[in-house]
C-alpha cells in the first residue's frame, strides 16, 4: 500500500493544481479564471516575502555566531549586523520614505552597488583578452568576429570605411540571432519537459527531495 | 465554446503537442517499452570529477543558483539548479567535502536548506550537515556578488558550480572562480550570459542541457524518456523552421500566418 506523506503529497498536489491552472489561464480568456490565478500569484508573492524572514534569520545566526566566537574579521560581521538592525528599525519606525532610511539607501547602498557594478568592465576586459587568442580554428573565427564587432562599435572606424558598420551589424543580426534563437527554442522545449516532469512528480528534488 | 486569448492559439497547440509527445515518451519508458540512450554531457560528468578534486585538495565546493525568482517566468532554471544541488549535496557528503551554497533569493533559502539536508541524508551522513553552509547573502544582486566573492576567496574553494538563472553577476563570480584556480561548471538559459561562461568556465551547460541535467544525473529511465521526447519535439521544430524559411523565401506566408494565430 502506498504511504501518504502529508508534507510532500500536499505540496505536490498544490504544485499540480496551481501549475495547470496558471498554464490554462494563459490561453483561455475567462475573467473568473484570471481573477483566481491573479489571487494565486499574489499568494505566491506573499509566501516568497515571508521567506525573506528566513533569509534574515540565516544572516543573523551565521554572523552572530562569528561575532560571539570572535573569529578572524568578526568586526565585519558586527558591522553587518549593526547596519541590518539600524535599517530594519528605521524602516519599521518611519517606513522606507523616512529621511534617515533614504539617507542610508542613497548614501550607502546605492554607491556600494554602483561600485561593484563598475567592476564588471574590468572583468569583461580581462575575460576578453583571455578569449581573443588564435590557438584553434574556432579561436581565429572568434578573434576576427570579435574585432569586427568591436570596430563596428567604434564611431571613428565607421567614418574611415562604412563597410565596417555593415559587416558588424550583419554579424550581430544574422549569425548571432540565428544561434541565439536556436538556444532559445531548445530551452523552451526543455522548460516544457521540465514542467511536465515536475507536474507528473517525476522530478522531486527541487521540492526538497 | 471556450474563449481563447487572441494571438495565443498556435502557442497553445504547440504546447499541447510538445507536452503530449514528451509525455508519451515518458509513459513508454515507464512501462519499459523504451530504453532511452543518452549521450554523455561533459559538464555533468565533470561534476563528480570536480568534487573528487576538492576531496584531494581538502577545499570546499561553492554552489549557487543565480537570480531567477521562483515566482517569475524564468523559474525553470532555478528549479533545474536546485535539482542538481541535491545531486551535488549527495556526492559531497559521500566524498566528505564541504558544500557552501550562497543564495540571493529569499524564497530559495528554505528549499535549499531542505535539499542539502536530504542530500546528506541520502548519502547516509546526516550528521555532517551544517545549516551554516547554506547562506543567504542579500537579495540585492551586487551586494550578493560582493558577498559571494568574499566567501569564495576566504574559503578557498576548489570547485565552483553556477547552475541556474544568471544575469549581470555571472562574469564577476566566474572570474573570481577562475582566479582561484577552481574547476567551474556553469549553466544557464540566459543567452546574454552564456558567452561569459564559455569564456571563463571549464564546462558550460547551454540552455536545455541545464534543464535536462537533473534527469541526466538521476539515471532514472522514466525521466530520461522525457529527454527522448524533447529530442522529437526539437526535430519537429527544426523541420518547421526549415519549411518556414523556404516558404517565406518563395513568398508564401501561410505557415508564417498560422504561427501568428
Given a contact cutoff of 8 angstroms between Cβ atoms, the answer to whether B164 and B182 are in contact is no
ipTM: 0.90
C-alpha count within 13 angstroms, C-beta hemisphere, residue A58: 27
- Structural domain contains residue B3: no
pLDDT at B94: 95
pLDDT at B217: 86
pLDDT at B176: 94
CB pairs under 8 A between A and B: 199
Selecting from A65, A202, A209 the residue whose C-beta is nearest the C-beta of B223 gives: A202
Q: What is the mean pLDDT of each run of 10 residues along chain A (209 residues)?
A: 74 89 92 94 87 88 92 91 92 87 92 91 88 83 90 87 92 94 94 91 74
Selecting from A58, A59, A203 the residue whose C-beta is nearest the C-beta of B83 gives: A203
Long-range contacts of B178-181 (CB under 8 A, 24+ apart): B180/B152, B180/B153, B180/B156
∠ CA(A123), CA(B62), CA(A69), 5° rounding?
110
Say yes or no: B30 and B118 in one domain: no
Report the 10 Å Cβ neighbour count for B74. Answer: 20
Selecting from A109, A120, A193 the residue whose C-beta is nearest the C-beta of B229 gives: A193
- Structural domain contains residue B24: yes
When divided into structural domains, chain B yields a total of 2
Say yes or no: B207 and B189 in one domain: yes
Q: Quote the DSSP letter at residue B2.
A: P
**What does chain B come to in residues?**
261
To 10 degrees, the CA torsion angle through B43, B47, B52, B53? 60
For residue A129, what is its C-alpha cell?
Answer: 583578452
Say yes or no: B95 and B189 in one domain: yes
- Asked if the C-beta of B168 comes within 8 angstroms of chain A's C-beta atoms, the answer is yes
- Asked if the C-beta of B109 comes within 8 angstroms of chain A's C-beta atoms, the answer is yes
Selecting from A48, A65, A116 the residue whose C-beta is nearest the C-beta of B107 gives: A48
Q: Mutation test of the interface with chain B: which of A132, A191, A207, choosing the one with the most B Cβ atoms within 10 A?
A: A191
- Structural domain contains residue B139: yes
- In this complex, do A120 and B69 lie within 8 Å of one another by their Cβ atoms? no
Say yes or no: B192 and B240 in one domain: no
- In this complex, do A123 and B175 lie within 8 Å of one another by their Cβ atoms? yes
Given a contact cutoff of 8 angstroms between Cβ atoms, the answer to whether B29 and A193 are in contact is no
- In this complex, do A113 and B234 lie within 8 Å of one another by their Cβ atoms? no
Residue A200: list chain B partners with CB under 8 A: 23, 26
Nearest residue of chain A to residue B147 (CA atoms): A116
Say yes or no: B51 and B80 in one domain: yes
Task: Give dist(CA A114, CA A67) in Å, integer.
Answer: 28
pLDDT at A204: 78
- Asked if the C-beta of B260 comes within 8 angstroms of chain A's C-beta atoms, the answer is no
Given a contact cutoff of 8 angstroms between Cβ atoms, the answer to whether B157 and B60 are in contact is yes
Residues of chain B with pLDDT under 70: none
Q: Mutation test of the interface with chain A: which of B27, B233, B240, choosing the one with the most A Cβ atoms within 10 A?
A: B233
Say yes or no: B111 and B176 in one domain: yes
Instruction: Show which of residues 124-153 on chain A sit within 8 Å of chain B, judged by CB atoms.
Output: 124, 126-128, 130-131
- Asked if the C-beta of A52 comes within 8 angstroms of chain B's C-beta atoms, the answer is yes
pLDDT at A45: 85
Nearest residue of chain B to residue A73 (CA atoms): B154
For residue B163, what is its C-alpha cell?
Answer: 547552475
- Asked if the C-beta of B239 comes within 8 angstroms of chain A's C-beta atoms, the answer is no
* Number of helical H runs and strand E runs in chain A: 9, 0
Provide the whole-model pTM: 0.91
pLDDT at A203: 82
Concatenate the DSSP letters of all residues of A135-199 into one string: SSHHHHHHHHHHHHHHHHT-HHHHHH-THHHHHHHHHHHTHHHHHHHHHHHHHHHHHHHHHHHHH
Task: Give dist(CA A126, CA B45) in Å, integer.
Answer: 28
CA A78, B58, B203, A153 dihedral sign is positive
Say yes or no: B125 and B167 in one domain: yes
Instruction: Show which of residues 5-44 on chain A sit within 8 Å of chain B, judged by CB atoms.
Output: 23, 26-30, 41, 44
∠ CA(A180), CA(A186), CA(A188), 5° rounding?
100
- B180-236: pLDDT as tens digits: 999 999 999 999 999 999 989 999 999 999 999 888 888 888 888 888 999 999 999
What's the distance, Cα to Cα, between the start and end of chain A in Å?
A: 21
CA A135, A141, A144, A150 dihedral sign is negative
C-alpha distances in angstroms, B193 versus A33, B173, B187, B204? 36, 12, 9, 11
Residue B134: list chain A partners with CB under 8 A: 58
Nearest residue of chain A to residue B199 (CA atoms): A131
- B61-73: pLDDT as tens digits: 999 999 998 888 8
To 10 degrees, the CA torsion angle through A151, A157, A158, A161? -110
Domain ranges of chain A: 1-94, 132-200
- In this complex, do B134 and A58 lie within 8 Å of one another by their Cβ atoms? yes
C-alpha distances in angstroms, B199 versus A135, A152, B155, B159, B170? 14, 21, 24, 17, 11
Q: Quote the DSSP letter at residue A204.
A: -
- In this complex, do B79 and A58 lie within 8 Å of one another by their Cβ atoms? no
What CATH number did the domain enclosing B132 receive? Answer: 3.40.50
- Structural domain contains residue B4: no
Residue span of the structural domain in which B109 resides:
42-217
Task: Give dist(CA B147, CA B104) in Å, integer.
Answer: 10
Phi, psi of B27 (to 5 degrees): -65, -45
Task: Give dist(CA B215, CA B149) in Å, integer.
Answer: 30
- Structural domain contains residue B47: yes
Amino acid at each position: 500500500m502506498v504511504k501518504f506523506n502529508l508534507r510532500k503529497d500536499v505540496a505536490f498536489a498544490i504544485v499540480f493544481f496551481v501549475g495547470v491552472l496558471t498554464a490554462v489561464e494563459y490561453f483561455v480568456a475567462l475573467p473568473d479564471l484570471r481573477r483566481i490565478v491573479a489571487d494565486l500569484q499574489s499568494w505566491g508573492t506573499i509566501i516568497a516575502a515571508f521567506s525573506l524572514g528566513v533569509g534574515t534569520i540565516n544572516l543573523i545566526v551565521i554572523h552572530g555566531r562569528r561575532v560571539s566566537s570572535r573569529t578572524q574579521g568578526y568586526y565585519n560581521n558586527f558591522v553587518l549586523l549593526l547596519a541590518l538592525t539600524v535599517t530594519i528599525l528605521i524602516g519599521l519606525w518611519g517606513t522606507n520614505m523616512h529621511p534617515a532610511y533614504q539617507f542610508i539607501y542613497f548614501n550607502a547602498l546605492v554607491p556600494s552597488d554602483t561600485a561593484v557594478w563598475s567592476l564588471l568592465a574590468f572583468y569583461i576586459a580581462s575575460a576578453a583578452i583571455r578569449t581573443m587568442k588564435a590557438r584553434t580554428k574556432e579561436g581565429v573565427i572568434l578573434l576576427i568576429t570579435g574585432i569586427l564587432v568591436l570596430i563596428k562599435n567604434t564611431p571613428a572606424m565607421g567614418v574611415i570605411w562604412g563597410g565596417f558598420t555593415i559587416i558588424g551589424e550583419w554579424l550581430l543580426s544574422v549569425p548571432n540571432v540565428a544561434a541565439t534563437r536556436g538556444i532559445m527554442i531548445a530551452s523552451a522545449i526543455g522548460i516544457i519537459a521540465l514542467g511536465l516532469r515536475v507536474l507528473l512528480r517525476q522530478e522531486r528534488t527541487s521540492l526538497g527531495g | 465554446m471556450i474563449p481563447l486569448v487572441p494571438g495565443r492559439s498556435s502557442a497553445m497547440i504547440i504546447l499541447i503537442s510538445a507536452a503530449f509527445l514528451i509525455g508519451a515518451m515518458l509513459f513508454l519508458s515507464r512501462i519499459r517499452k523504451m530504453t532511452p540512450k543518452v549521450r554523455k554531457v561533459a559538464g555533468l560528468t565533470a561534476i563528480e570529477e570536480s568534487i573528487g578534486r576538492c576531496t584531494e585538495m581538502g577545499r570546499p565546493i561553492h554552489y549557487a543558483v543565480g537570480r531567477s525568482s521562483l515566482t517569475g517566468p524564468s523559474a525553470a532554471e532555478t528549479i533545474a539548479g536546485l535539482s542538481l544541488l541535491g545531486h551535488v549535496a549527495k556526492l559531497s557528503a559521500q566524498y566528505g567535502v564541504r558544500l557552501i551554497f550562497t543564495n540571493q533569493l529569499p524564497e530559495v533559502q528554505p528549499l535549499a536548506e531542505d535539499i542539502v539536508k536530504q542530500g546528506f541524508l541520502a548519502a547516509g551522513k546526516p550528521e555532517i550537515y551544517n545549516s551554516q553552509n547554506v547562506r543567504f547573502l542579500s537579495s540585492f544582486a551586487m551586494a550578493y556578488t560582493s558577498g559571494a566573492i568574499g566567501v569564495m576567496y576566504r574559503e578557498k574553494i576548489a570547485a565552483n558550480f553556477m547552475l541556474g538563472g544568471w544575469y549581470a553577476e555571472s562574469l564577476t563570480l566566474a572570474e573570481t572562480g577562475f582566479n582561484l584556480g577552481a574547476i567551474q561548471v556553469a549553466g544557464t538559459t540566459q543567452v546574454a550570459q552564456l558567452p561569459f561562461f564559455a569564456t571563463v568556465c571549464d564546462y558550460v551547460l547551454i540552455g536545455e542541457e541545464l534543464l535536462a541535467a537533473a534527469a541526466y544525473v538521476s539515471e532514472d529511465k522514466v525521466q530520461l524518456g522525457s529527454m527522448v521526447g524533447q529530442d522529437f519535439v526539437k526535430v519537429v521544430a527544426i523541420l518547421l523552421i526549415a519549411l518556414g524559411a523556404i516558404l517565406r523565401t518563395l513568398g508564401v506566408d501561410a505557415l508564417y500566418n498560422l504561427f501568428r494565430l
